Structures are given as structure tokens and as C-alpha cells.
Chains A and B, each alone.
Chain A
Amino acid sequence: MSTGHLLVVGAGQAGAQLISSVRTLGWDGPITLVGQEAHAPYARPPLSKALLRGAASAGSIGLRSSAFYAEQCVDLVAGERVERIDLTGAGAGTAESASGRRWRFDRLALATGARPRRLPIGGADLDRVVVLRTLDDALALAGLLGTAHDLVVIGGGFVGLEVAATAAAAGVRVTVLEMAPSILNRVVSVQTAAAVQAAHEATGIGVRTHACPVRLHTDGRGGVAAVELADGTVIPADLVLVGIGAHPDDELASAAGLRCEGGVVVDSCSRASDGYTLAIGDCANLPDPSTGASGKRLRLESVDNAVEQAKAAAATLTGDPRPYRSTPWFWSEQGRLKLQIAGLASPDDDVVIRAGKRPGQHIAFRYRGDRMSAVECLNTPADFLAVRAALAEGISLPREAVADTATALKRLQHLGRERPSYH
């Protein structure tokens, strides 16, 4: 295949997958992968767990070996922030980094990711008030945890709960604050959220819902000392982790004239509004790829989407565009708790609970009418895979059947397997 220069901006999970997949599919032109972090592409999931615990290191979480980039003739440029993109038509253009490096490209893929939302209250800029997104964030947090006594986590989402569990296991007193009526708000059913909350409370983590931080108190030396809530409660804290979601990094795309609406707007083949530039991973605003999708647009912040959307986008780049179809899935390890979600439920979808065989196990099936929309599993990885396969096939398991623990979910595994695949 005679191809030109592919520039990939963003060297996270999606960017690393795209350069691998596009080579496999026959892109034979030069490829440049530019990332603003000083590290080669690495896995983010261990940042809140193994890396904080000291069980993984910067060197052990790389997504590809250093030899891989050379073998694949990919020019990996780490530590350069692309600041400006000029599109000159038919997908081609130039990009310029903050340090003045320039690249001319024939095709461009944006995999710029997302950045943490900041806390919009007084004291948010005090020392020891941190976020966790990057490897450098994680290394800094690991250092701070070594001397912390009281960690307050603001935001009861995946990142916050994972860090809370890791810190508690290391002997730090932990309080999780969530503004909504339940943790993992709008991510899982209230029943699953309650089970997750109970599991954390059993390990000594304090969880407060309806908790609205209004101010961070200083220790008088520039560091944080406490978190004050709207109801006047003051919670001591010598370390605060803010985990309240992320903003898509779409400013480059927007400045280049591409349509952005809370993420780079792409079609089902990952093409932005110019019809050529690709956007993948956390920064993309894409049509729901689920089986039986409603056609609504969303962003998916997950490893699964970064990998699978990148594979689909690689096919688009190599001249075989086909709509990205996938059953989104998510997982979160929080101490000994393994939470897995497949499918996308609306907050008002019905909930059918299947009791676990062992303590700590729980499955919540979500339904919209008779259609199974999602499943939420706690500590049941095999059942999760069986139900995810059914969701991927567009098969709705009947409500009465899933509630009956005498029926093994894995009996459903052999339902038709043929699905579109990308390489």
C-alpha cells in the first residue's frame, strides 16, 4: 500500500494501538507518534493500584517494548506538546510543537485524551491537593502517600475509589466524599453502588454521600489541612485527591477548525468533520457503538474503547472504513473488589439483582423494557464474560432467568459467535 506520513498526536492507549494496528493493516509510509508526557506509551490502569503500592514501576507498565517502535519504523517523540495544527485539505497539513518542531503530514489522528477537572473551590491550589491522570501524577501521589495520615478523596468515581482502597490498605485513614446521593453516580445502579460502598466501609474507609466541599483549609504553610463541607463539617486532611471527572482535550482540533462538542465530533468510522482527520479514545465524541444503539453521541473513557476504536480507525486509514461496533465495557479494581460493567444503561433502567454464590459477589442486570442494556458484576469475572458475550450478540437474557441462581450464566456462552473483527 502506498501511503504517506501519518502523524498521531497523543501517545496513550489509543495512539499506541493505532500505530500498531495501522502497520499490521499495511500502512507502509512513515509514522510519527507524538506525546506530551516524557514517557513512552504506558498503561494507565496500574497507576491507581500497583504503581501506588510499589508493585509496579514506570519501567514495568510500558504498552510496547522500546524495540517495537524501531521494528515498526515508528518515530516515537515523547515530551513534545503539539500546539498548533494547520489542515490544508484532503487530510494533509502541518503540526507544530511548543518547542518549535514541525511535522508535515498526509493524514492526522488525534488521540489527545482528557485532563482532570479541577475543583472550583477555594484552596484547590494548596500543596498536597492532587489529581491522578498521568504517570508523573501517580509517582508524586505515591510519594505523598508515604507520609500521609488522612487522605480525603473528593469524588466517588473509579479513580477516587481505587486510590481510596490502595491508600487504606497501606494504613492511611481515608474518607471519600461524593456530592451525589450515591457513589459511582450514573455509572452503576444504586444497588451496585450500595454494595461497593459497603465493601469499602468494611475495610475502614469512610464514605459520605450528599457531601459538598465548599473550601479547603490551609495548614498555614501552604499545604492543605482540612476539607470543609456545605453543612459545616470539617474533615481533617493532609492529602486530598480530586477525582471529579475529565474534560476532553479537544482544543487543538477546535483551533484547527474541526467540529467539537465536548470532544472531537467523529462519525462511526472515527472521522472528524473534515472527513479525513481521525479522533480516537477519550477525546472523541462518537456515535454510540453498542449493538442496538440509540444513535446518541457520547464519549467513552475506557481502555476497551481506546483499543477497539483505534483498531476500527486503523481500518478507516488503510482504506477499509466500516462502522465501529462494540459493546463498551469497563472494569475497576478497588482493593479486593473487582467491578466490571458491560453495556450502557440509562440511569432509569430497571435493575434485576442476581445474588452472589459467595460473599462479596453481586450481579445487577439492567433492563429497558425487555431489552437487557447492561450488566454490573462484583467479583464474578466469569459470569461477566458470559453476559458480555450475550450483550455483544444483542441477546437479552430474560429477567426471570437471570434472577434464578440455579441457571448457570455460562451456559449462554455458545450463542452465535460471529462478529465483525478488526486486526
Chain B
Amino acid sequence: MNAEVLYIQPDGTERVIGAIPGDSVMITAVRNGIGGILGQCGGSLSCATCHVFVDDHDAAGFAPISEDEDDMLDVAATDREDNSRLSCQLIVTAGQHIRVTIPKTQL
């Protein structure tokens, strides 16, 4: 079953991308030219430039936040909120429909 990610830009613009299960929300965005998710380090938890706010209904579908990810969100360029994640750590599973909102700045 196909998975989908809905990306919402800070200005409200939305785009749905079909995602390959096993890919991250970050790489799906980068490969498809979604602005505002940089993913400079390619998903190795080194840069915190793939910060997103995950729609509450979807948060439970992902692995819990690690200590490094948690610490890095503290220093992300846009202040974190309760539903902040680094999207390189959000691995899409088959059939998932995910909504994420992109913060104003990543650098």
C-alpha cells in the first residue's frame, strides 16, 4: 500500500508526495524538491536542518525520539514545539498518511 506525506509550508502552501516505505520524511522531501527541508547531512543526525512539526495524529506512528535528536531540537534554528521532530528520523511505513508542517527557517 502506498504511503503519502503532505508537506505544509510556513505560508500554508501544501503538497502531497507519494513516499516509498522505508524512506524518511526528510529524503522524500529533498528528492522531490520540497523547499524548507534541507537535510544537509543526508540523515545522519549531524545538522538539524530537517526540522518539522508532525501532525499530532501521526506522531505515534514513528520511533520515539532519541537523546541526540532531542538535544539537537533544542538548538534548531526555529524554536521547537511539542510535536517537533527531525524528519530524517521519521521512517515512512506502508499505508501511512502523514502531515508535517515545515518551520520558517532551518539554518
A residues near B (Cβ < 8 Å) are 20, 24, 43, 45-46, 60, 62-65, 67-68, 71-72, 303-304, 307, 329, 331, 333, 338, 340, 381-382, 384-386, 389, 410, 413, 417, 419, 421, 423
A303 to B44 CA separation, bound complex (whole angstroms): 13
* A382 interface neighbour in B23, B32, B33, B74, Cβ under 8 Å: B74
- Greatest chain A CB density within 10 A among B32, B42, B74, B76 is at B42
**Which residue of chain B is the closest to A330 with respect to CB atoms?**
B46
Chain A residue nearest to B68 (CB atoms) is A381
20 contacts between A and B (CB under 8 A): A43-B42, A62-B31, A63-B31, A64-B30, A68-B31, A68-B33, A303-B41, A338-B46, A340-B46, A381-B45, A382-B71, A385-B47, A385-B48, A389-B75, A389-B77, A410-B71, A417-B77, A419-B107, A421-B105, A423-B35
Q: Is there contact, CB below 8 Å, between A63 and B32?
A: no
Q: Which residues of B contact A (CB under 8 A)?
A: 23, 30-33, 35, 38, 40-42, 44-48, 68, 71-72, 74-77, 105, 107
Tell me whether A63 and B30 are in contact (CB under 8 A): yes
Shortest distance from the beta carbon of A291 to any chain B beta carbon, whole Å: 13
- Give bound CA distance, A192 to B45, whole Å: 20
Query: What DSSP secondary structure best describes chain B's contact surface?
Result: loop
Q: Which A residues are in CB contact (< 8 Å) with B46? A: 331, 333, 338, 340, 381, 384
Which residues does chain B contribute within 8 Å of A384, judged by CB atoms?
Answer: 46
A340 CB contacts on chain B under 8 angstroms:
46
Point out the residues of chain A lying under 8 angstroms from B68, CB to CB. 381-382
On chain B, the residues within 8 Å of A65 by CB distance are 31-32
CB distance from A8 to the nearest CB of B (A): 16
Closest to A409 in B: B75
Query: What's the nearest-Cβ distance from chain A to residue B29, in Å?
Result: 11
Contact of B41 among A331, A413, A417 (CB under 8 A): A331
Q: Determine whether the beta carbon of B40 is less than 8 Å from that of A303.
A: yes
Residue of A nearest to B44 (CB): A333
